């Protein structure tokens, strides 16, 4: 994959919005470090693939990018991640940081309020 660090992150977001977890995980380095900051981090592409697919299939995914900015190999995003899962419509405002190495995502950290997410999984109505 070529392109600027910002392009690489936008490709990654396009893979999410295609709801294609194989394509999502192809954006990672072998030793990717993934941290949903309120929870425990996950290390390695295979472990992250397992993590993302064990949560369950998403019915649909629509990440909206509010802003994106790069500084060298670091790309910072402000997003609203919307998705359907188990008949619930989740709309989660968050920010995420990405570190790029050799055209792949080597680190990904998302920051959000875990209770806001869990409330929507429990109470959310179908979108």
Catalytic residues: 81, 110
Smaller CB distance to a second copy: residue 27 or 107? 107
- How far apart are CB 23 and a second copy at their closest, in Å? 25
Contacts (CB under 8 A) with a second copy, residues 21-60: 37-38
Q: Token digits for 32? A: 């990717």
**For residue 45, what are the contacts with CB-CB under 8 A and spacing of at least 6?**
25, 28, 29, 30, 31, 32
Q: Identify whether the C-beta of residue 117 lies closer than 8 Å to the C-beta of residue 92.
A: yes
Smaller CB distance to a second copy: residue 9 or 48? 9
Rounded to whole angstroms, how far apart are CA atoms 102 and 70? Answer: 16
- How far apart are CB 3 and a second copy at their closest, in Å? 16
Smaller CB distance to a second copy: residue 31 or 113? 113
Provide the binding-site residues for a second copy, judged by CB under 8 A.
37-38, 66-71, 74-78, 93-97, 109, 111-116
């Amino acid at each position: 994959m070529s392109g600027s660090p910002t392009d690489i992150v936008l490709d990654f977001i396009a893979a999410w919005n295609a709801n294609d977890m194989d394509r999502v995980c192809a954006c990672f380095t072998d030793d990717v470090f993934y941290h949903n900051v309120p929870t425990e981090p996950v290390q390695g592409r295979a472990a992250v693939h397992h993590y993302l697919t064990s949560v369950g299939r998403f019915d649909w995914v629509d990440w909206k990018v509010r802003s994106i900015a790069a500084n060298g190999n670091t790309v910072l995003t402000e997003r609203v991640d919307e998705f359907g899962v188990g008949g619930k419509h989740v709309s989660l405002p968050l920010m995420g940081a990405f570190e790029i190495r050799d055209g792949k995502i080597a680190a990904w950290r998302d920051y959000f309020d875990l209770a806001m997410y869990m409330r929507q999984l429990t109470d959310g109505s179908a979108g």
